[in-house]
Amino acid sequence: MKAKFQFEADPSLVANDGNKFNTSGSGASDGTVAANGATQTTGTASAQSGLVGAGYSYIGLETKAGEVQFGTINTQTLGAFGVASQMFGTAVGSGYKKGIYGGYTRYENSMAYFSPSFNGFNFRYQNAAGNNSQYGTTTGIVLRRPTINEVGLAYANGPVTVQFANLTSKGASADASTSADVTTKINTLGAKYDAKVAIIGFGMQNLKDDYSTVTETKAQNISVVVPYGAWRFGVNSASHKTNSSTYASLNGTKSTFVGWGVQYDLSKRTYVYLSQESATMADLNGKNVVINGANFNTSNALLTDNKRSITAVGISHAF
């Protein structure tokens, strides 16, 4: 047997963006940080604020029969996406949480089992207990969390890597009516093939919920990474399509996304990078989008041909 633990701090070098320690000010209705440094809406902060709880942190036990972890645990859904996005990870150029793929990253109060590898195959199961409470008054800190169950399968052998995840999430009963007790099913597949001169990745994600509007979305991407000495050149093309039984304006609409990036190794643990993405978000509902700390509108208008470009340059060092 082997006892294990991990504590992952997830700091942000941009004020009020990511650490989620500020519970006042304007922001997105779900408590995420809005554009241009606007802070969160009052009452939507995580109970585990600041650096604690923001990363993959757990205690665990490893044996020949597999490994069990307890804590805030990354999902296989995230792992499958990482296989498809390759060098872009979840950053600029990936399409993760940018209107293409959903951000089902990690969940608190989780238990996960990881099987041993059998001829390249392995299995995992994750459960996160829901939470239906909050601290204080109606403007207090909301603790509510969905209940999730996820089954993951993976295969890695030679040049082929494949990961699949089936995640089911059920909203807390005390949530707003649009998410209370709503069950959402997300299927994510990621695969890549290393042809030596290039690594080709493919991913897809299908989502369906049982709310009265019955929303279905389908996302997919193709990525190619070409290594050349200390250099890596990558391109990623993705799309997202929405079908809705209630909102006719959303039915059949599609968003497109293109990202590219260049990385250069300065050492085994350090590289510099340049990444860029361009997106046309045609199937997003305007009332769910926050721009400069304010909602785009209060109707169900689409962001027709709403184009967005992001460029990032930086240096990455692994400790």
Closest CA to 141 of 60, 286, 21: 21
> What is the CATH number for 192?
2.40.160.10
pLDDT of residue 299: 54
Give the separation between CA 231 and CA 272, rounded to whole angstroms: 10
User: What confidence score (pLDDT) does residue 257 get?
Assistant: 92
pLDDT in tens, 209-234: 887 666 788 999 999 999 999 999 99
Contact 267, 280 (CB under 8 A): no
| Cα–Cα dist 48/145, whole Å | 12
> What pTM was computed for the model?
0.82
Q: Are 186 and 107 in contact (CB under 8 A)?
A: no
Q: Check residue 82 and give its pLDDT.
A: 95
Q: How far are the Cα atoms of 86, 264, 275 from residue 314, in angstroms, in the given order?
A: 18, 11, 9
Residue 170: the pLDDT is 87
What is the Cα–Cα distance from 204 to 240, expressed in whole angstroms? 10
CA dihedral 148, 154, 160, 161 (to 10 degrees): 30
Block mean pLDDT (10 aa), the chain, length 319: 89 51 36 34 44 79 96 95 95 87 89 95 94 63 80 96 95 71 91 96 92 79 96 96 72 86 97 93 59 53 66 92
β pairing state of 294-295 and 306-317: unpaired
Q: What is the DSSP letter of 81?
A: H
The answer to whether 276 and 121 are in contact (CB under 8 A) is: no
For residue 84, the model assigns a pLDDT of: 96
Per-residue model confidence (pLDDT) at position 281: 75
Question: Measured between alpha carbons, how far is 221 from 154 in angstroms, rounded to an integer?
Answer: 19
Q: Which domain holds residue 134?
A: 2-317
* pLDDT at residue 288, rounded to an integer: 54
Run of H or E including 76:
helix 76-85
Q: What percent of the chain has pLDDT over 70?
A: 71
HEC secondary structure over 122-159: EEEEEEECCECCECCCCCCCECCECEEEEEEEEEEECC
Give the separation between CA 27 and CA 24, rounded to whole angstroms: 9
List pLDDT tens digits, range 94-143.
999 877 898 899 998 899 999 999 999 999 999 999 887 765 555 556 66
Is-contact 59 70, C-beta < 8 A?
yes
User: What is the number of structural domains in the chain?
Assistant: 1
Looking at residue 162, the DSSP 8-state letter turns out to be E
Residue 190 pairs in a beta bridge with: 163, 203
